[in-house]
């Protein structure tokens, strides 16, 4: 593949020192969910210094309005007449797992690895994307279209920061959602729908007569029976193949369900079960609702079954509801990022569900809003026994590849 002169200039202007310094700086600032303020303010100044016009946007928790945080939405104006590119990645980190062997906020650098909470999810990737655009600016390249840099807050509450900016009218022609993908290009991602079923124990004053017992099925036992109907977690071998779908070659093990919570108070009569459905392209909220209802309607052998169904589990505006995301591998956005990835790494780009399999990101939300999106970024979760994990770390070489791929994509897409 032939690289344009501008792309070569941009690659040469991307500074590893500056990238690593930025990543370490924001890793040093704790930014748990709804505590992203310090990183937000730092990136506000950093992006302003680069020439971005920054609007600090408030983000409110979807069901607790006392929780408010903020995110800097930054636009680098193009010269006009070109498509715009959004780069979106989250500032909030995973919860701090136990077992860290290094200081999660120090940003230790050793043998080409950068360690720290957020190193790959998502601060390292965001620092890389910002450094990529910095390279374009340093190289004196002027794009026609705008760059819309969105370091978002509250990603862990179903993309609340991203939902907020979309609601406020922030948009673009394309979006790269920075998420750990070991620098593969996520073009197919599952969606997620939480299903809540509440069963109720009959309120019998005196349970120990034969008549009373005939009317009684405990709410927990009802749920145990329902679990048998919906089948096991993490497999697509579900009873009667109850989730309607057309199999997707990239997501052969999906759709699947996973049980998330079950609970009943000692004296309470209701028992609440929540499971999530990981959906594949073609499945919708309505199709899943119909499927669940069909399973429930078909039950006539659980005595005294008394349930209430809520889909999505947290009501109509449930932020945990995500549509699946899919974009054609031939889409100009995919081609541009793949080219950048290949030029930066010297290896063919892997495109599809690859390292994003079973995951979703804010790219799902952005894609569902009509903006063509993909999920891409540094960091390989296969280096940990499970994810999230202590000792989060990322290869600096992957950060540099990400920076270059983003710069190349911006150059290609924004003119
Ligand atoms: Zn993430």
Residues measured by CB to lie within 5 Å of ligand 1, the ion: 121-122, 179
How many angstroms separate the alpha carbon of residue 4 from the centre of ligand 1?
A: 32
3-state secondary structure of 153: coil
Question: What is the pLDDT, as a whole number, of residue 164?
Answer: 98
Most confident of 169-183, 201-215, 375-389: 169-183
Question: What is the pLDDT, as a whole number, of residue 178?
Answer: 98
How many angstroms separate the alpha carbon of residue 348 from the centre of ligand 1?
A: 24
Are 378 and 126 within 8 A, CB to CB?
no
Q: Which domains does the chain have, with CATH numbers?
A: 5-189+324-414 (3.40.630.10), 191-310 (3.30.70.360)
How does pLDDT run across 117-145, given as a tens digit for each residue?
Answer: 999 999 999 999 999 999 999 999 999 99
How many angstroms separate the alpha carbon of residue 87 from the centre of ligand 1?
A: 14
Strand order in the sheet with 256-264: 256-264, 270-279, 191-200, 307-310
Burial label for 31, CB within 10 Å (0-12, 13-18, 19+), is buried
Question: What is the pLDDT, as a whole number, of residue 128?
Answer: 98
Residue owning tokens 């780009």? 349
How does pLDDT run across 261-272, given as a tens digit for each residue?
Answer: 999 999 899 999
How many angstroms separate the alpha carbon of residue 334 from the centre of ligand 1?
A: 20
Q: Is the pLDDT of residue 326 over 90?
A: yes
Q: How many helices (H) and strands (E) does the chain have?
A: 11, 17
Are 245 and 263 within 8 A, CB to CB?
no
In this structure, are strands 307-310 and 113-115 parallel, antiparallel, or unpaired? unpaired
pLDDT bucket at 95, cuts 50 / 70 / 90? confident
- Tell me the C-alpha distance between 109 and 93, whole Å: 19
Give me the helix-helix angle, 5-13 and 396-414, nearest 10°: 140
How many angstroms separate the alpha carbon of residue 121 from the centre of ligand 1?
A: 5
How many angstroms separate the alpha carbon of residue 324 from the centre of ligand 1?
A: 16
Give the pLDDT mean for 53-78. 97
How many angstroms separate the alpha carbon of residue 382 from the centre of ligand 1?
A: 15
What beta strand segments (E) does 127-240 contain? 147-152, 174-178, 185-186, 188-189, 191-200
How does pLDDT run across 282-317, given as a tens digit for each residue?
Answer: 999 999 999 999 999 999 999 999 999 999 999 999
pLDDT bucket at 207, cuts 50 / 70 / 90? confident
- Tell me the C-alpha distance between 334 and 375, whole Å: 10
Q: Is 82 left (phi over 0), alpha (psi -120 to 50) or beta?
A: beta
């Amino acid at each position: 593949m032939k690289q344009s002169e501008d792309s070569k200039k941009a690659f040469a202007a991307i500074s590893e020192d500056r990238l690593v310094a930025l990543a370490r700086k924001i890793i040093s600032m704790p930014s748990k969910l709804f505590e992203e303020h310090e990183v937000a303010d730092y990136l506000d100044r950093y992006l302003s210094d680069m020439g971005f016009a920054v609007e600090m946007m408030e983000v409110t928790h979807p069901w607790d309005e006392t929780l408010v945080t903020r995110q800097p939405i930054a636009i680098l104006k193009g010269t006009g007449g070109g498509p715009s590119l959004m780069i979106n990645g989250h500032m909030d980190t995973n919860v701090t797992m136990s077992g860290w062997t290094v200081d999660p906020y120090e940003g230790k650098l050793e043998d080409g690895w950068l360690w720290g909470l957020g190193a790959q999810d998502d601060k390292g990737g965001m620092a890389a994307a910002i450094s990529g655009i910095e390279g374009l600016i340093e190289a004196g390249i002027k794009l026609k279209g705008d760059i819309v840099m969105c370091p978002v807050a509250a990603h862990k509450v179903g993309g609340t920061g991203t939902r907020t900016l979309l609601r406020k009218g922030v948009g673009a022609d394309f979006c790269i959602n920075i998420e750990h993908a070991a620098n593969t290009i996520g073009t197919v991602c599952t969606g997620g729908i939480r299903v809540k079923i509440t069963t109720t124990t009959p309120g019998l004053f005196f349970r120990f007569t034969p008549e009373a017992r005939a009317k009684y099925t405990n709410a927990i036992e009802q749920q145990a029976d329902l679990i048998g109907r919906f089948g096991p977690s993490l497999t697509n071998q579900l009873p009667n193949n109850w989730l309607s779908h057309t199999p997707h070659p990239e997501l052969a093990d999906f759709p699947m369900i996973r049980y998330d919570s079950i609970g009943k108070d000692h004296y309470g009569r209701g028992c609440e079960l929540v499971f999530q459905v990981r959906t594949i392209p073609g499945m919708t909220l309505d199709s899943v609702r119909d499927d669940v209802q069909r399973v429930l309607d078909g039950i006539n052998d659980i005595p005294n079954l008394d349930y209430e169904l809520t889909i999505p589990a947290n009501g109509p505006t449930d932020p945990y509801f995500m549509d699946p995301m899919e974009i054609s591998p031939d889409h100009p956005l995919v081609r541009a990022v793949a080219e950048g990835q290949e030029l930066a790494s010297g290896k063919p780009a892997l495109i599809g569900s690859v390292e994003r399999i079973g995951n979703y990101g804010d790219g799902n939300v952005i894609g569902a809003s009509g903006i063509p999106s993909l999920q891409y970024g540094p960091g390989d979760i296969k280096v940990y026994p499970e994810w999230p994990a202590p000792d989060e770390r990322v290869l600096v070489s992957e950060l540099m590849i990400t920076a270059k791929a983003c710069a190349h994509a911006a150059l290609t897409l924004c003119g």
